[in-house]
Chains A and B, each alone.
Chain A
Amino acid sequence: MMAAAAPAAHRLPGGATWSHRLHRGEALELEDLEGGANAALLLVNPHEPTERLNVPDTLKAQHVARITAGMALFSDMGRVMASVIEDTCGWHDPLAGHARTAELEAVHGPSSFAVHGNDARRGAREELLLELAKHGMGARDLVATVNLFAKVTVDGEGRLVFHPGASPPGGRVVLRADMDVLVLLNTCPHPLTPGPWAPRPVGLAVRDVGVAGADDPVRLACPENERGFAATYRHAA
Chain B
Amino acid sequence: MPEPATAPPALDPADAAMDRTIQPGDGWIGEVPSGGHLRIVDLHGNQAVDTLLYDAHDHAHRYSAQDTIRGQGAIYLTTGSRLLTGTGASLATIVADTCGRHDTLGGACSQESNVARYGEHTRHMHACRQTFLAQALAWGHGLGKRDLTHNINFFMNVPVTPDGGLTFEDGLSAPGRHVELRADRDVLVLISNCPQLNNPCNAYDPTPVRLLMWEAGR
Contact = CB atoms under 8 A, between A and B. Distances in A.
* A and B associate: yes
Interface string A120-149: 000001000000000000111111110000
A143 B105 contact: no
Interface in A66-82: 66, 74, 76-79
A143 B74 contact: no
B164 A65 contact: yes
Given A54-B107, A65-B105, A102-B88, A96 B69 contact: yes
Contacts of A76: 110, 112-113, 129, 148
B107 A60 contact: yes
A63 B166 CA distance: 5
B86 A64 contact: no
Listed residue (A77, A156, A158) with the most chain B CB atoms within 10 angstroms of its CB: A158
Contacts, number: 139
A60 B157 CA distance: 13
A9 B199 CA distance: 45
A74 B165 contact: no
Categorize the interface residue count of chain B. 35 or more
B112 A160 contact: no
Contacts of B106: 56, 59-60
Contacts of B148: 76
B48 to A, nearest CB: 12
B149 A159 contact: no
A215 interface: no
Interface stretch (A19-27, A172-180, A194-202, A223-231): A223-231
A57 B73 contact: no
Interface string B74-88: 111000000000111
Contacts of B64: 97, 144
B123 to A, nearest CB: 9
A158 B166 contact: no
Given A153-B164, A158-B160, A159-B1, A142 B86 contact: yes
A140 B120 CA distance: 30
B107 A224 contact: no
A87 to B, nearest CB: 13
A139 B88 contact: no
B60 A139 contact: yes
A191 interface: yes
A158 B11 CA distance: 30
B210 interface: no
A132 to B, nearest CB: 12
Contacts of A74: 113, 116
Contacts of A223: 119
What 3 A-B pairs come out closest when comparing CB atoms?
A56-B107, A97-B66, A78-B112
23 contacts: A54-B107, A56-B65, A56-B108, A57-B110, A61-B113, A65-B165, A76-B112, A76-B113, A77-B112, A78-B110, A78-B111, A95-B69, A97-B69, A125-B86, A125-B87, A144-B64, A144-B66, A154-B160, A154-B161, A158-B75, A224-B117, A227-B115, A231-B115
